[in-house]
Structure formats: structure tokens, C-alpha cells
Structure 1
Amino acid sequence: MIQTTGLSKSFNGLEVLKSIDLRVAPKEIVVLLGPSGSGKSTLLRSLNGLEELDGGSLEVNGVRVEASMPSKKKQANFREIRRHTGMVFQQFNLYPHKTALGNVIESLLTVKKMKKEEAVKIGEQLLGRVGLLAKKDEYPSRLSGGQQQRVAIARALAMEPALMLFDEPTSALDPELVGEVLEVMRQLAREGMTMVIVTHEMKFARQVANRIVFMDGGVIVEEQEPEIFFQHPESERARKFINQLQEH
């Protein structure tokens, strides 16, 4: 589903991703872990073109992008990738002037040019999937952070993505609201959705991931199954990271 080869990215001369090789199989759930500034979010955002590639190449769901491609070709290929990739951010980025249902069906109306009644049917079904059908006519300002994030997930699912990317989806939430968002993600995992997730929720990572990819300083330091990673990490850097987590 995803393959990156030698992926590199710099900001103002500072190399944030250093020749990253990553593979993600269909239906696999990969959690990216690492300290702040390790390159996790930049890697995630590079997968759907939110960050420009400086070097290397990637292939997502059969669509290939190389850093050396002409700009127009790159943009066209990333547009194609985004059509099959759902992304959920820390901030919910909902349209404040649209209801929960309005937010979910927006892409169906504008991108897929669907008839409104058809879009509404799908939107209601998706809000039902994230447990929010009863809130379909509420505006974002009337929803809790957890509810807004679940609407954002439903919105991402509206495009029937082959792949979901989550960039710290619970970090802006009050602790008591985190569980409801993670439960929706668990349900997606049970349904076989391919997911790449940047998160600080270690218990969730341990339960749901097929593989942990641990990053530090712009490189992948270690890749392991969760149980091995959390109990017997190979690298000194990963051991230190896990020990720090346990101290908190």
C-alpha cells in the first residue's frame, strides 16, 4: 500500500527526514513513535503531498511520486493519492458554518459531484459509524472536541479511502474524550483499514498496531512488533524513550 525509498526532506537547511525507507502492507496498522522533532509528522504529511519531497520517491496505492519529477506531474500524482487517502489532524479543521452532516458530505458534493440526497444517505451512515448520527444537525461549536474529531474521521471516510493517516488525532483533546476517538480507530482496525498513525497513546499503540516504527533524528531507528518493541527494544535510543514514558 505504501513504499518509500530514500525519502528526504529539509527545512531551512536542516534535514528532517534522512533517506527513509518504509513499507506498509494492505490492512496493516503502523504506529510511528519517537520524541518530538524526530520526523514522524513530516513523514506522515509527505505521504500525501502536504510536504514537498526533497529526495527519493514514494508509492501510495499504486501511484508513484519521485522528488525529481516535474512539478506539474508531481502535483497531479499527489492529487490522485489524496483521492484514496483520508487524513485526520490534531486540529479538527471542520467548517464552522456547516453542520456535522454538512462537513461530512462536502467532499461528496464538490469532489464526487454526487446528488445531495445520495450524499446525505452516505453522510448519515458514516455519522452512525462514529456514533454521532444524533448530532448530525449540530454545528462544530456545539460539539465536544472528541465529537468534532469523530466528525473529522467520518469526513475522511466519505471519500472511501484505501488508507487512513492520523497525525496525533487525540493530542488536542481533554483526557476523558480521548477514548471515544480511539474506539472509532479500533473499529476501523477491526474492519481492515490500512492505517499509519502518529500518536502518544502507548496503550493504544500496543493493542492496535501490527508494527511500531520508532524514529529519532529523521531516521527510522527500529521497527518491531509492539510486544517486542515495548518489552525488548533493540536500540539504546528506544530503551531510553520507553523508560522515560514509564517514569511519567
Structure 2
Amino acid sequence: MIQTIGLSKTFHDAEVLKNIDLRVAKSEIVVLLGPSGSGKSTLLRCLNGLEELSGGVVEVNGIRVDAAMKSREKHAKFREIRRQTGMVFQQFNLYPHKTALGNVIESLLIVKKMPREQAVQVGEQLLERVGLADKKDAFPSRLSGGQQQRVAIARALAMEPAIMLFDEPTSALDPELVGEVLDVMRQLAKEGMTMVVVTHEMKFARQVANRIVFMDGGSIVEEAEPAAFFREPQTERARRFLNQLSDY
């Protein structure tokens, strides 16, 4: 479903991603771990064109983008990719003047040109799916952080994506609200959604991921199944990272 070949990204003179080769199979849950500044979020953003590629190739669900392509062609390809890829960010990015339902159906009305009655029906089903059927008429200011993030997940699912990308979706939440968002993500995993997740939630990574990809300094340092990674990491850098954590 996802493949990168020699992917690199440079900001000014700093090489943030260095020759990244990554493959993600259909229905696989890949969790990206690593210290802050290791390139995890940048890698995620390169997968759907939110960051320009400096070098290499990204292929998502059969759509191939080469950094050497002309800019117009790259942008057209990434537009196709974004139609098939849902992304959930640290911040919820909801429209404050729209209700929960209004936020979810926006893309159905604007992008899919769906009749409003049908869009509302789909939106209500999606809110029910994330446990917020009773909050459809609530504005974001009336929702907790966990509820807002679940609305953001429902909004991303509205486009029926083949792949979901999560960029630290619980990092802006109070600790007691983290579980309700992770529960929705666990359910998506059970349903067979292909997912790439940047997170610091080690319990989620252990229980849900099929594979851990550990990054440091813009490179992939280690890849392993969760049990093997957490029990016996193969690199000194991964061991130091885990030794600094208290909850893995």
C-alpha cells in the first residue's frame, strides 16, 4: 500500500530525512517511534505531499511520485493520493463555527459533491462509529479534546480512505482522554485499515502495531515486530531510547 525508495527531505541545509526505504502492506499497522526531531512527522507528511520531496520516490496505493517529476505533475499525483489517504494531526483543526456533524460532512459536500441529505446520513453514521452520535449538533468549543479528536477521525474517514496516517493524535490531550481516541484507532485496526502512526503511546504500539519502525537523525535505525523490539532491541540507540521510558 505504501512504499518509499531513497526518500530524502532537506530543510534549508539540514537533511531531515536520509534515504528512507519503507514498505507498508495492506491492513498493516506500522508505528513510527523515535526521539523528537528524528523525522517521524516529516516522513508522514511526505507520504501525502504535505512536504515537498527533496529526493527519492513515494508510492501510495499504486500512485507513484518521483521527486524528479515536474512540480505540476507531482502536485496532481499527490492530490490523487490525498483523496485515498486520511490524516489526523496533533491539533484537531476543526472548523469552530461548524458543529461536529458539519465538520464531518464538509468534504462530502465540497469534494464528493454529495447531496446534503445523503451527506448527513453518512456523517451521522461516522459519528456513531467513533462514539459521538449524541454530539452531532455540538460545536468544537463544547467538546472535550478527546471528543474533538474523534470528530477529526470521523472527518478523515468520510472520504473512505484506503490508508490512515496519524501524527501524534493523542499528544495534545489530557491523560484521561487519551484512551477514548486510542480505542477508536484499535477498532480501525481490527477492521483492517492500513495505518501508519507516529505516537509516544508505548502500550498502543505494543498491542496494536504489526511492526515498529524506529527512527533517529532522519534515518530508519531499526525495524521489528513489537514483541521483539520492546524485549530486545538490536541497536544501542533503540536501547537508550527505551531505557529513558517508564511505561513501555
Shorter-chain TM range is over 0.9
Q: Which residue of 2 aligns with 1:147?
A: 147
Q: Which residue of 1 aligns with 2:59?
A: 59
**Partners of 2:104 and 2:65 in 1: how far apart?**
29
Moved >3 Å (runs of 4+): none
Describe how 1:27-106 pairs up with structure 2 within 5 A. 27-106=27-106
Q: What is the identity, as a one-letter code, of the residue corresponding to 1:133?
A: A
Cα displacement string for residues 106-133 of structure 1 (whole angstroms, at most 9, x for unaligned residues): 0000000000000000000000000001
Report whether the alignment pairs 1:127 with 2:127.
yes
**Partners of 2:131 and 2:213 in 1: how far apart?**
30
**Partners of 1:63 and 1:124 in 2: how far apart?**
31
Offset of residue 199 of structure 1: 0.2
Q: What is the identity, as a one-letter code, of the residue corresponding to 1:97?
A: H
Q: What is the identity, as a one-letter code, of the residue corresponding to 2:132?
A: L
Q: Which residue of 2 aligns with 1:197?
A: 197
Offset of residue 12 of structure 1: 1.4
Q: Which residue of 2 aligns with 1:157?
A: 157
Q: Which residue of 1 aligns with 2:4?
A: 4
Q: Equivalent residue of 2:171, what SS?
A: coil
**Partners of 2:179 and 2:58 in 1: how far apart?**
33
Q: What is the identity, as a one-letter code, of the residue corresponding to 1:73?
A: E
**Partners of 2:61 and 2:187 in 1: how far apart?**
22
Aligned partners of 2:202 and 2:247 also within 8 Å? no
Q: Equivalent residue of 1:180, what SS?
A: helix
Shift of the 228–191 alpha-carbon distance from structure 1 to 2, 3 Å rule, reads: same
Q: What is the identity, as a one-letter code, of the residue corresponding to 1:130?
A: V
Q: Equivalent residue of 2:242, what SS?
A: helix
**Partners of 2:204 and 2:60 in 1: how far apart?**
25
Shift of the 247–187 alpha-carbon distance from structure 1 to 2, 3 Å rule, reads: closer
Offset of residue 246 of structure 1: 2.8
Q: What is the identity, as a one-letter code, of the residue corresponding to 1:166?
A: F
**Partners of 2:186 and 2:17 in 1: how far apart?**
29
Shift of the 54–136 alpha-carbon distance from structure 1 to 2, 3 Å rule, reads: same
Q: Equivalent residue of 1:246, what SS?
A: coil
Q: What is the identity, as a one-letter code, of the residue corresponding to 1:89?
A: F
Query: What are structure 1's unaligned runs of at least 5 residues?
Result: none
Q: Percent of aligned positions with the same letter in both sequences? A: 80
Q: Equivalent residue of 1:200, what SS?
A: coil
**Partners of 2:189 and 2:55 in 1: how far apart?**
32
**Partners of 2:10 and 2:203 in 1: how far apart?**
32
**Partners of 2:240 and 2:137 in 1: how far apart?**
47
Offset of residue 151 of structure 1: 0.1
Offset of residue 138 of structure 1: 0.3
**Partners of 2:156 and 2:247 in 1: how far apart?**
36
User: Would you say how many aligned residue pairs link Structure 1 and Structure 2?
Assistant: 248
